[in-house]
Structure 1
């Protein structure tokens, strides 16, 4: 037992070193913008850059829109499949896995081909239409993660019992989904929302080819034009990711406490 415990701790320590050492190196390099001393100059340059503020705000707003769009698509689908069509579940799971094997560049070229200014629905001809296409592309990329998060949440509750109980009280399908099912899978939706947020913040191909001012293309531009600022930007992005994880965990605990 002692040897197993020592081996487990050794593997854990090696894993921590493997994941944290590059981050520590990136942090140390980002502090070397001023020759001979450590400074926060690179972080000041990034935070004071109007383009950083604009692209980050744009991506955050877009991530919220993508999460809403993803929930509107995935939650009713997963609920209906589990309740009424369990035999179609393997087919739906296969469809939701397709974004993992279809490159984003194919998705965005399909959008440009189908929704250009010469098509019946010229979404690329306006900023709002292109924003909608970008949110749809991100919702597609996050589909495998959002669907599995929601499906896992549905497994943890008695969908059939809750639905029948709500319908016996006169609730319609929309009421059952909005006021019974969704509150009970809120933690699962938050998990999918976090993964969606990470995808939106870091994705480059779709945003670049649709020519939208997103955070991913900004990070790539910064990496090809500056020296120390890209390292500072990577640390800031890592911090935002972990902060969002902390917020999600806090909301999940409050949800469990409320249910309890």
Structure 2
């Protein structure tokens, strides 16, 4: 019985892997058949030579990075304050962070249009900058469950109370404690959440399409309606990007949070004092 367990588990893993790898291989093989009678990377070359592809990738990258920055600035202080001062509110905050998984993105974007449309007091949809702001806000909301879980798990691995008390004894303000002590100690957790957020925001379609933004997700759908081989190449490249983010996330997640000391917070007078 013990000898049969590795065989059964191996078969289960192979069947589960084939469910994903076989369609992926078929898509990759189809993307190489743009030139009849031979396999080539002509579809990939055609995609890279397109100016629209470069513009959409650049736009989605900038929007995703902006969403990551805003998400970190919101999530890290919130998770820190909830764990330090408001532990009873933690279930409520966790429930709120899970709401984007329950509310569909189409409801979210129609709410944005309703609140910030042309008839509102703050008509952000009338300008490109305002619409881009709504897009980044939508990306922040979509990535909130993943960013909050990553940061909260990172803070659970360190002693926030002791670090805060040590920083306050050394004369640090609350803002400097978060910036110089908490951020470095949960850096690996923040980076893991950032990669996961980037993989979600980069290929997002619903919000970018309804806000009429030149993002990568709508471009992928649009090119799929006009051509045959280029969409397969784009799908392979998007999968490769997501997998690269997953690998980087695992590498950073393997680093244990903590292990940082507070030398920059020590005042010169405190360093010169001898016990």
Q: TM-score range by the shorter chain?
A: over 0.9
| Secondary structure, counterpart of 2:54 in structure 1 | helix
Residue of structure 2 in register with 1:147 after alignment: 148
State how 1:25-40 maps to structure 2 within 5 Å: 25-40=26-41
- How far residue 254 of structure 1 moved from its aligned partner, in angstroms, is 7.8
SS in 2 for 1:142: helix
Distance 1:96 1:253 in 2: 24
| TM-score (ref. length: structure 1) | 0.94
Match of 1:159 in 2: 160
Match of 2:264 in 1: none
Q: Could you say which residue in structure 2 is the equivalent of 1:67?
A: 68
State the structure with more CA Rg.
2
Counterpart-to-counterpart distance in 2, 1:191 and 1:250: 8
Q: Write the deviation string for residues 133-188 of structure 1: whole angstroms up to 9, x where unpaired.
A: 10000100111111111111111111111111111111111111111111111111
In structure 1, distance between residues paired with 2:133 and 2:256: 31
**C-alpha distance in structure 1 between counterparts of 2:27 and 2:6, whole Å:** 32
SS for the counterpart of 2:12 is helix
Deviation at 1:245, TM superposition (A): 3.4
- Which piece of structure 1 moves more, 10-19 or 102-111? 10-19
Ranges in structure 1 where 5+ consecutive residues have no aligned partner: none
**Deviation at residue 240 of structure 1 after TM alignment:** 1.6
Structure 2: distance between partners of 1:255 and 1:51 = 41
Distance 1:144 1:248, change over 3 A: closer
Q: Which residue of 2 aligns with 1:176?
A: 177
Q: Displacement, 1:60?
A: 0.6
Describe how 1:170-249 pairs up with structure 2 within 5 A.
170-249=171-250
- In structure 1, distance between residues paired with 2:251 and 2:196: 16
1:100 corresponds to? 101
Tell me which residue corresponds to 1:87. 88
Matched positions, count: 260
Residues 1:130 and 2:143 aligned together? no
Q: Using the TM superposition, give the Cα deviation of residue 249 of structure 1 relative to its aligned residue in structure 2, in angstroms.
A: 4.8
TM-score, normalised to structure 2's length? 0.89
Distance 2:87 2:251 in 1: 33
Is the alpha carbon distance of 1:254 and 1:143 closer, same or farther for their aligned partners in structure 2, counting shifts above 3 Å? closer
Query: Would the alpha carbon gap of residues 252 and 91 (structure 1) be closer, same or farther in structure 2, given more than 3 Å must change?
Result: closer
